[in-house]
Structure 1
């Protein structure tokens, strides 16, 4: 049997289950959980998966495939399931299949209400899309060789309720069965012609998800083939509008700005408010892809058969159509754009515990041979066989040397010869066999071996995975960076002039597995000893993706999970710098400056509760840089270009105000909104007066005002707390003037300045792994997998 984990979080339900699937396509549920909790996806999903595995008396490593509902659904909940399913499968090295959640709902209905007679039935599935809209799709049921076919007639869409009713003719046609979520059941009942046709509280289930996946692959065997990464079905663009930029003031002399920097600004201006970023780039017509073949593809396959095997009884379209519908066969097509350039089919006989596989066909159009396309199809088929640990058999013409060489590369050996096997040509065939692929043995770490701690960071727009190697224990332990991989979605935010939370969340979902794979490869390990993730503070949606994925990785690898504080990570990363004595951070001041944070923290030991002494009352310092850069037409992000231009300018040219520096103001708090406004007013006044201002002088004067306040208040905190160390962290700590002024003032005050390397100042997974490493060495217990993300997590909480 094929053991499948099914997951869906596209509705209010937190759904997961473990099932065994026979090669014939029958589904046996071993355990499942369905909890109606619209806000509980993050807290409940991974623990419920482990509960199901325990009830089924299985371990995570027993799972052969994962099926996840890809929506449509509310973005926040949907991504928890998508991130969890993708991470669980990635950790185990098994396929993950995404199926439309509305199709899974339809298939669940088919399972509970089988067809009677041969007349087709129509099903309309509706779900609550919020914002006074419904998700909807329609399906047609009709008998088939496999029992029943649930064919999608109109794919998932989102519309106003009255438009949905009209589109499907529900106000007058009572022949359709209407499946809907509980929250819209009353409205649906009022809108349809007969309330008897309405099935309320319909949602994806384990059975529905798996049956939808089998139908999508056209066989149970297809659940074992490698697939593309799952993609969430988004039917709405992010709620972000590209701002219309005002022209740069004529008073600003931008001669010092390089042409390409102004060109970027002008490009975003010309694009206007395109309604949000595109979800996916257009498919390259020249790019090949592998998909399960549909019965409708039979004529294309038959045409290729006729071209390639004209003298060997090529299959007819009807024969191909019947083969595609065989439950134990995986029939794959290789497409280049809309053109079918090749195909292959693999039959699996026997039970999954004692299976044998046979390559029945593999063919590439003559004009596409010699491009390596055969290997793409072979990789898919051999992956299926290897997951079953099955021997693979095939026949090949004795005179087809290229094919024989290909098969030998995959471990096939000639077993014998069949005379006159191919008819009517009478050509001989070799029988070839590939031995079963033995399951890999899991190595147990030997006593005293180094431990590897993984950190996952996703609090804003960077997807970071870092791995720290711990050698030794207690005070004598040493930490080493084994891997540091980061993917940034900054370019996707540039046209909006700042980070768009929804776009950041989508980017995390896409980047998580590639970044994870790269981190493990660089570290040279298959799995870590523990997994940590940023649990807060940060953007709500972004945090969910990283933390949900990290929980799933930890659960699948059966290692502890640590939910840690993002800001504590910025402090802990300092301990990775050569020569830093960790004990100096037992009483230190941290100045964390970024686009989202501007804080002064009292550090009393790495991994210990910190005290927030002060923070910004309005804009963060990095945010002020971005807004001033936008005012001056310098693009996004603003920090680097303002810093570069400021190095050429006169910081004393303009006396911009220093916010919150009066005696009656809070000693450690900041305000940068007034500084930003002062820059804007200065430019306006210069334009009215017909004056010209050098952009480099503007940047230098603005920057001097900002870093002056930052360093004065940070050193004030050092003096008040008796701290001998000032630690700079956050993206803005890469600013050259901030570093120089901090170094100058620290030297004057007798304070030691710690500034991590540039790559460790911005958000990254290494800092999360570093904090977790210190917590582990201190004997802290792992987090419960029910832990929720906290976008406003206090600095006093290093671990949840």
Structure 2
């Protein structure tokens, strides 16, 4: 058995290959350990390949991966975990996480049977140490507290802590440069997993041992101005949670409305159902935690039969008529399907044969009609279909059986390119096909967003985003690869691309490290590409056109720029950008001011559609004749909104909040479209492309279309799912680069949070401009 062992919890980048013979005594085949406290991402994957080469092995010879999970400095730690997880995922072998301090102790043959605790110390920065007592728990604390708690001890100290530890009179330093080793990592895994047999089984999801919470503080809630009139606003947010028997009356009220003419359940029926030991009832609520909280939907799932082979039945599901048509039924269906899949059971239900919307909903979850029950509904006599969704294992077996055979390799076989995106709060994995005629088409677009985790902080918290990327990368990747297999019969791409900048430093590292590992494990080229270039490239999806001479308006929470483009994948020129807040950031700040929550863009867009954009004349930043032609400024607009609300309240007046939203939005999109269309006219470009999350804004799209038509400019706007950050845009950019003959990036390439728009690709030779 060959095991890849990886750790980046310390200043050392550790990679090695260990063999486990029949007697289960680990044998080191090769090791590359490099002191590089700030270069984990650049050197880890190349070092893994070097270790495999030295051992005379290839990635396909690996049987398992063991990864140190900390404690350790967050950013470096995640590089090792993302890389190790990706290698295992790409090769289809189990990945096992072990505490890095346990690996350090195991490297010195110290285990939890020792008579006296041995301390493992490593640097936690901020003048604190990570400490683990073997046997015992791990914690983080100032050195003085650790010394006071353990005045006498044997110590395995990292090089950063060794000098101070050596000054403690009662401490005996066993190793002044202690760290995890490949052998130590595998020994710790054997101990935790119960031997070699345990290592061959599927590992648990990796969980980093952080020991510290993210440095994020929830902003204090500010009272919403009394001058804002919300009476005409339709609340449009819903949450799902467990139902209590006290909700039975409201459920019966909705039921009576939905099943008028049949036999709706009475209050006591709901009460007994909700309280039953074998049911799970969920409620759909709007205005949660406010005076306007209201139950608008419900669903009940029953679990029947033996515990080792249960069957499930949806007893009821309903959303009141006033809230239908918004996709909220899925908020109830998703958790019920997760419950059934967790126990690998089939799910049954009955539905009226004439209820086509419901039948379509159930089919989308894999339900199929297996029978008809005549006169099922009383007293109407309506018929019902019996539908069933097979158990998860049965669905997987059927998918495997029906999987298309791999096509023969031919000269015109499309090149499949994978793109990984992690520059901010979305974990995106996309797959595209590059065809012989240069056309790029989408195969898969999978995105996991951590937006909800940031909402209570009023904006993206970089540390939370990085942690979320680490957790979401594997599931998102597997979903995308499942799409690839189902649609093309192929199991892996021909190339892997990832965003390497610009973006949040820690977030970029997770995606790029994982992408490099996938590329290395599969033996395919890696392309480190520009996030902004991806937003431009995705506008060419579905065609062979590389855009040529065009203007791109990129608008998001982090960027507001006008770029001159001379073909996708070539260096772009920035004509102008925001001098302060990005447009999306301005939306978020104004939404917070108005008490609308985070993110602000979608809710302001929705409310603006109900309001009067001429109600308040807000200023248009940098729109005077002597102002920079293509630059933007939104901080003054944000201040103007705040002053308007304050003045209205001080004067005892009110203003509909939808009018404030509409007037603010009009001021933003007016400037965005006017300047970008002017850039087209001034440069002679005949195409304007919108990109970035704010390009999903309905008013921005409409006004851009109107002004482009008047100026004789062609407008290109990506499909809504491709406006926000996603992997498809990175795959599309890489596909264009491949078609143009660009050189792949070396696996030693670094991320660049400030990557310039003139750099489409980090490689020895890109596409000439």
TM-score, length of structure 2 as denominator length: 0.76
Contact 1:456 1:532 in 2 (8 A): yes
SS at match of 1:555: helix
2:432 to 468, 479, 484: 468
1:507 to 462, 468, 473: 468
Deviation (angstroms), 1:154: 1.5
Query: Within 5 A, what are the aligned runs for 1:46-195?
Result: 46-110=45-109, 120-139=115-134, 153-167=135-149, 169=150, 171=151, 173=152, 176-194=153-171
Deviation (angstroms), 1:261: 4.8
Taking a change above 3 Å as real, the CA distance of residues 664 and 105 of structure 1, as seen in their structure-2 partners, is same
Write out per-residue CA displacement over residues 260-294 of structure 1, whole angstroms, 9 at most, x where no aligned residue: 55999xxxxxxxxxxxxxxxxxxxx99xxxxxxxx
Taking a change above 3 Å as real, the CA distance of residues 263 and 444 of structure 1, as seen in their structure-2 partners, is closer
Contact 1:165 1:192 in 2 (8 A): no
2:484 matched residue in structure 1: 523
Deviation (angstroms), 1:486: 0.9
Q: Distance in 2 between matches of 1:444 and 1:198?
A: 59
Q: Distance in 2 between matches of 1:367 and 1:480?
A: 47
Taking a change above 3 Å as real, the CA distance of residues 198 and 705 of structure 1, as seen in their structure-2 partners, is same
Query: Within 5 A, what are the aligned runs for 1:195-274?
Result: 196-259=172-235, 261=237
Query: Within 5 A, what are the aligned runs for 1:779-798?
Result: 779-798=741-760
Q: Compare 588-597 and 644-653 and name the one that shifted more.
A: 644-653
Deviation (angstroms), 1:773: 0.5
Contact 1:262 1:634 in 2 (8 A): no
Contact 2:690 2:716 in 1 (8 A): yes
Q: Distance in 2 between matches of 1:604 and 1:739?
A: 23
SS at match of 1:34: strand
1:605 matched residue in structure 2: 567
SS at match of 1:110: coil
Deviation (angstroms), 1:498: 1.1
Q: Does residue 582 of structure 1 match 2:542? A: no
2:459 matched residue in structure 1: 498
Deviation (angstroms), 1:694: 1.1
Write out per-residue CA displacement over residues 607-656 of structure 1, whole angstroms, 9 at most, x where no aligned residue: 10000111111111001001101111111111111111111212111111
Deviation (angstroms), 1:704: 0.9
2:357 matched residue in structure 1: none
SS at match of 1:651: coil
Contact 2:4 2:16 in 1 (8 A): yes
Deviation (angstroms), 1:198: 4.7
Q: Does residue 560 of structure 1 match 2:536? A: no
Q: Distance in 2 between matches of 1:73 and 1:369?
A: 40
Contact 1:23 1:221 in 2 (8 A): no
2:515 matched residue in structure 1: 550
Contact 2:422 2:507 in 1 (8 A): yes
Deviation (angstroms), 1:11: 0.6
Contact 1:565 1:799 in 2 (8 A): yes
Write out per-residue CA displacement over residues 119-164 of structure 1, whole angstroms, 9 at most, x where no aligned residue: 835311011101111111111xxxxxxxxxxxxx222111111111
1:282 matched residue in structure 2: none
Deviation (angstroms), 1:581: 6.4
Deviation (angstroms), 1:23: 3.2
Deviation (angstroms), 1:552: 0.3
2:715 matched residue in structure 1: 753
Q: Distance in 2 between matches of 1:119 and 1:634?
A: 57
Taking a change above 3 Å as real, the CA distance of residues 649 and 370 of structure 1, as seen in their structure-2 partners, is closer
Q: Distance in 1 between matches of 2:732 and 2:169?
A: 58
Taking a change above 3 Å as real, the CA distance of residues 516 and 367 of structure 1, as seen in their structure-2 partners, is closer
Q: Distance in 1 between matches of 2:668 and 2:22?
A: 67
Deviation (angstroms), 1:446: 4.2
Taking a change above 3 Å as real, the CA distance of residues 715 and 192 of structure 1, as seen in their structure-2 partners, is farther
Taking a change above 3 Å as real, the CA distance of residues 566 and 106 of structure 1, as seen in their structure-2 partners, is same
SS at match of 1:571: helix
Contact 1:484 1:519 in 2 (8 A): yes
Q: Distance in 2 between matches of 1:78 and 1:41?
A: 9
Q: Distance in 1 between matches of 2:556 and 2:512?
A: 21
Deviation (angstroms), 1:21: 1.0
Unpaired segments ≥5 residues, structure 1: 140-152, 265-284, 287-365, 379-408, 410-440
Deviation (angstroms), 1:478: 2.1
Write out per-residue CA displacement over residues 676-707 of structure 1, whole angstroms, 9 at most, x where no aligned residue: 11101111111111111111111111111111
Contact 1:256 1:645 in 2 (8 A): no
Q: Distance in 1 between matches of 2:106 and 2:555?
A: 51
Deviation (angstroms), 1:556: 0.4
Count the aligned residue pairs.
610
2:42 matched residue in structure 1: 43
Taking a change above 3 Å as real, the CA distance of residues 107 and 700 of structure 1, as seen in their structure-2 partners, is same
TM-score, length of structure 1 as denominator length: 0.73
2:657 matched residue in structure 1: 695
Deviation (angstroms), 1:449: 2.2
1:641 to 574, 589, 603: 603
Q: Distance in 1 between matches of 2:433 and 2:703?
A: 34
Q: Distance in 2 between matches of 1:46 and 1:602?
A: 36
Q: Distance in 2 between matches of 1:3 and 1:513?
A: 22
Q: Compare 662-671 and 772-781 and name the one that shifted more.
A: 662-671
CA RMSD of aligned residues (A): 2.6
SS at match of 2:750: coil
Contact 2:440 2:544 in 1 (8 A): no
Q: Distance in 2 between matches of 1:23 and 1:636?
A: 56
SS at match of 2:754: coil
Q: Compare 68-77 and 490-499 and name the one that shifted more.
A: 490-499
SS at match of 1:582: coil
Unpaired segments ≥5 residues, structure 2: 241-276, 279-304, 312-340, 345-393, 395-404, 763-769
Query: Within 5 A, what are the aligned runs for 1:580-729?
Result: 582=545, 585-729=547-691
Taking a change above 3 Å as real, the CA distance of residues 154 and 635 of structure 1, as seen in their structure-2 partners, is same
Write out per-residue CA displacement over residues 316-372 of structure 1, whole angstroms, 9 at most, x where no aligned residue: xxxxxxxxxxxxxxxxxxxxxxxxxxxxxxxxxxxxxxxxxxxxxxxxxx9855459
Q: Distance in 2 between matches of 1:443 and 1:211?
A: 43
1:478 matched residue in structure 2: 439
SS at match of 1:228: coil
Q: Distance in 2 between matches of 1:128 and 1:566?
A: 34
Contact 1:262 1:635 in 2 (8 A): no
Taking a change above 3 Å as real, the CA distance of residues 547 and 495 of structure 1, as seen in their structure-2 partners, is same
Taking a change above 3 Å as real, the CA distance of residues 444 and 83 of structure 1, as seen in their structure-2 partners, is farther
SS at match of 1:154: coil
SS at match of 1:635: coil
Structure 1 moving runs of 4+ over 4 Å:
260-264, 366-372, 375-378, 441-444
Contact 1:483 1:519 in 2 (8 A): yes
Deviation (angstroms), 1:546: 0.5
Contact 2:8 2:40 in 1 (8 A): yes
2:733 matched residue in structure 1: 771
